[in-house]
Amino acid sequence: MTLLFFLLATVAFGAISYRLQWLSAGGSIVASAFGFCLLWLGGWPWVVPLLLFFGTSSILSKMGKGTKLPKNDEKKDDIRNATQVLSNGGIAWVLLLVYAVTGDVLWYAGFVGSLAAATSDTWATEIGRLAGGMPRNIISGKMLKKGLSGGVTWQGTAGSALGALLIGLSCVPFYDNTVLHCIILGLFSGLAGSLLDSILGATVQAKYRVPETGEIVEGGIQDQGVQKISGARWVTNDLVNVFCTLAGGVAGILLGYLFT
């Protein structure tokens, strides 16, 4: 009966997310499967951080949709597909499965750190777009076209810290550690992942120029005539997100080890 409830709850979650245009059909299926595993193998300590990440990120992506500048990458809308769901939550999913086998709470710390990184990166992007500040390349310090990966603003950085802090606080009722430790876990893991995301975005993520307009975009490999001007063709925004969440997960595990 419990498993049936979990199944119905996650199917309803996926259907509502699809109806609200937060997820594509494929994205809702993957997210539902992830949610089912969380409820079955972990319970609320694992579900709450994920719901906060997904809910706040989806709301932020819809805020000011008509006024925000478009994202200059392969994702032209705010509806997450299956690949995006996995790139942001795949590492957390793996950490849950490892925890289910070992029962070691360090994997929970890694899970929180991974989601803190995903939240930190997403909040940085969305709040930076909402605020409209002029970004600078995190490596060179030069002004960067708005929307391109590797750019940072003080507004986005503040949003990054707030998002990471939120995920850290979400584990306070569940994690056998102090409030301060939870704050440090979320904040440092989240910022570590977000920082790596910006560095990779500025250095190795592929960028292209549209010959007709001179516009620099990310992705769009399928478009005729685009010319790669920097980065590696196989390094997409989704792959960078995987490394972002992996860094957050590793940082979370290390911090969890220090706190035990």
DSSP H or E segment with residue 136: strand 136-137
- Do residues 152 and 135 touch, judged by C-beta distance below 8 A? yes
Residue 151 dihedral angles phi and psi, to the nearest 5°: -95, 145
- pLDDT of 260 reads 78
pLDDT of residue 75: 45
Residues 97 and 37: beta-carbon distance below 8 Å: yes
Please report, for the chain, the start and end positions of each structural domain, with discontinuous segments joined by +: 52-259
Amino acid 13 reads F
**Cβ atoms within 10 A of the Cβ of 152, count?**
22
Helix, strand or coil, per DSSP, at residue 152:
strand
Query: What would you report as the CA-atom Rg of the chain, rounded to the nearest whole angstrom?
Result: 18
Residue from 196, 193, 82 nearest 138 by CA:
196
Instruction: Read off the pLDDT of residues 157-186 as tens digits, 9 standing for 90 and up.
Output: 999 999 999 999 999 998 877 899 999 999
Q: Write the burial class of residue 178 (CB in 10 Å: 0-12 exposed, 13-18 middle, 19+ buried).
A: exposed
How much is the pLDDT for 143? 84
CA distance 127 to 152: 11
Q: C-alpha 233: how far from its chain's center? A: 21
The helix (H) or strand (E) run that includes residue 216 is strand 216-217
Continuous H helices in the chain: 2-19, 25-37, 44-62, 82-102, 106-131, 154-170, 179-203, 237-259
Instruction: Tell which phi-psi region holds residue 258, choosing left (phi > 0), alpha (psi between -120 and 50) or beta.
Output: alpha
Cα separation, 27 vs 15, in Å, equals 10
The whole-number pLDDT of residue 94 equals 97
Q: What is the pLDDT of residue 233?
A: 86
pLDDT tens over the chain, length 260 residues: 588 888 888 989 899 999 988 899 999 999 999 999 999 999 999 999 999 999 999 898 887 565 554 454 444 457 889 999 999 999 999 999 999 999 999 999 999 999 999 999 999 998 988 887 789 989 988 888 777 888 899 999 999 999 999 999 999 998 877 899 999 999 999 999 999 999 999 999 988 888 777 788 886 555 557 788 888 888 999 999 999 999 999 999 999 999 87
| Residue-level pLDDT at 74 | 44
